[in-house]
Structure 1
Amino acid sequence: MRAFLVISGIVLQIAALHAQVRLDVGTSVGFTTANASFRQLPGFPSCCPSYDGGSGVGGQFSVGVDVPVLDALFLSARIALTDRSHTLTTTEFTDVVVGNSLVQGAIEHTIATPLTEVGIETSLGYRLGSLVVRLGGGYAMRSFGSLRSREELTAPSGAVFSDTRSSVRNARTGDLAESITSTFYGVSSLGFDIPLNRLRSWRLTPEVGMAFGFASMTSVADWTIVVP
């Protein structure tokens, strides 16, 4: 999925005035937001009451082309390689015994998810002066790394689980069961062209945008990602 918050791209005009085909090469930093609703995954034992969401930061590299349709309207196609790795995190507050006293403790449940996506997208774009608006969709292939899950007793300081005699338990590494390795997605962006030479043949185009996938990460749980 092509999902980004900020893109710095170079746009090259290679055709005549009023009929400009533009090639672009871009790089970005994306802030992934995960939405989930499950307690545990197969192969990853957990006492988590519910995994509800998480976040991550990753980079993207893309190449694309804009083909004019009318004076201000154009069709855009891009191929992107994106790091969508993120970590689901839930903090559970519970009573723990320290000495002979009952105090409030905190258990942090995490699932770290390495994820790389290769996406192909098309969109309809509109130019209004230096402003560039795109709206479209695409298809992405997903490649998952090994998931890493754990539960850590983070408070009070020095507290340990009675079964492991340490502050960590249920530490597991493994593959995501029933992973969904592709998804369709929607995308939108707003950019601003900054000419880099007098002929305006080279341009820098910072963009902000949003992307959202339609498929869950796995068929055994509700788990999607969005980038606002």
Structure 2
Amino acid sequence: MKLIYSIILLITLFTNNLLAQSTVEYLDVKKYAIGVYGVTGLNNHSVDFAKLKGTPNCCSGFESGSGIGLNIGMILQYPLTQEIELDIRASVLDLGADLISTQQIPISNLENSNDGDIAVIEHLISSNISTVGLNLGVNYYPLQYLYLHGGAFLGYNISGVFEQEERLISPSNRGVFRETGTRKRNELHGDIPELNSLNSFLNLGVGYSLLLNERGTFLLVPEVSFNLGLNNINSQPWKVNQITFGLALMFNSLSREYDNPINPVR
């Protein structure tokens, strides 16, 4: 019980300290901040089709996919009030992922294999999608240096390609496809059919500005965000969502000195 009371006391003291910091005029002395950023994106694809249009595929249906991408860009922040600032970002998004589905077929459909068993086929579509665009949002500071972000992204798909194959994964020691005489079939690559020109997202995030020097003119800003896809990648049901973890390195232009944790004003 004493441990619980001690934890509650520490949390209370820490919260009070943060609330006290929130009265410091950080955005009041901030003229603007500009910098570059890079994030790692965990891409989640939500799909509902059996094959890309115009491509042969024996899959019964794809439902989802996942991948990891790297987003890079430039960022500009401009205070509007002591708690709210405008946040503008020019970004390149890496949205690729692997769509994977497995299917069971009778072993008799394969060459060089015995009847009376089941074969497992893996269907793979590996996509590489790049989008360049502009994100417009606002940052709200409930506490000094800590902000909540909300915004919207509109971009142009500059690249959308795919590679696909179907491969026999079980049984591992025998069997080939009749069509190819190998353990793979329907191997294709090319541009994603009927790729949409535009891509749009809503995004929510949270970040914290870490001071890198005494004046607070250089910042390292870690941020976590979620991008909700609003439109399909092509003419089929195919949306992309992203969870991102990243860092921004920023130059922070100040109108005057102010009281901060590194360089307190006496």
Please say whether Structure 1 and Structure 2 have the same fold, judged by a TM-score greater than 0.5: yes
Does the 8 Å contact 1:44/1:149 carry over to 2? no
1:103 aligns with 2:117: yes
Q: Which has the higher helix share?
A: 2
Q: CA separation in 2, counterparts of 1:86 and 1:16?
A: 39
The unaligned stretches of length 5 or more in structure 2 are 1-25, 244-266
Shift in CA distance, 72/17, structure 1 to aligned 2, threshold 3 Å: closer
- Aligned pairs for 1:200-219 within 5 A: 200-219=216-235
Partner of 2:208: 192
SS in 2 for 1:41: coil
Secondary structure at 2:181's aligned position in 1?
Answer: coil
Query: How does the TM-score come out when normalised to structure 2?
Result: 0.75
Whole-angstrom distance in 2 between the partners of 1:96 and 1:42: 28
- For residue 93 of structure 1, the aligned residue among 104, 109, 131 is 104
Relative contact order, higher structure (CA 8 A, sep 6+): 1
1:179 aligns with 2:195: yes
The C-alpha deviation readout for 1:119-161, integer Å capped at 9, x for no partner, is 2011111122231211010201112343211111111113211
Instruction: Give the length in aligned residue pairs.
Output: 213
Percent identical:
24
Match for residue 147 of structure 1 among 146, 158, 162? 162
TM-score under structure 1 length normalisation: 0.87
The equivalent residue for 1:33 is: 44
Distance between the aligned counterparts of 1:53 and 1:125, measured in 2?
Answer: 32
RMSD across aligned C-alpha pairs, in angstroms? 1.8
Hey, which bits of structure 1, 4+ residues long, moved more than 3 A?
97-101
* Structure 2 counterparts to residues 3-152 of structure 1, below 5 A: 18-97=29-108, 99-127=113-141, 128-152=143-167
Which segments of 5 or more consecutive residues in structure 1 lack a partner in the other structure? Answer: 1-14
- Give the strand-richer structure, 1 or 2: 1
Q: Distance in 2 between matches of 1:136 and 1:145?
A: 25
Distance 2:160 2:200 in 1: 20
Q: Is 2:27–2:82's contact at 8 Å kept on the other side of the alignment? A: no
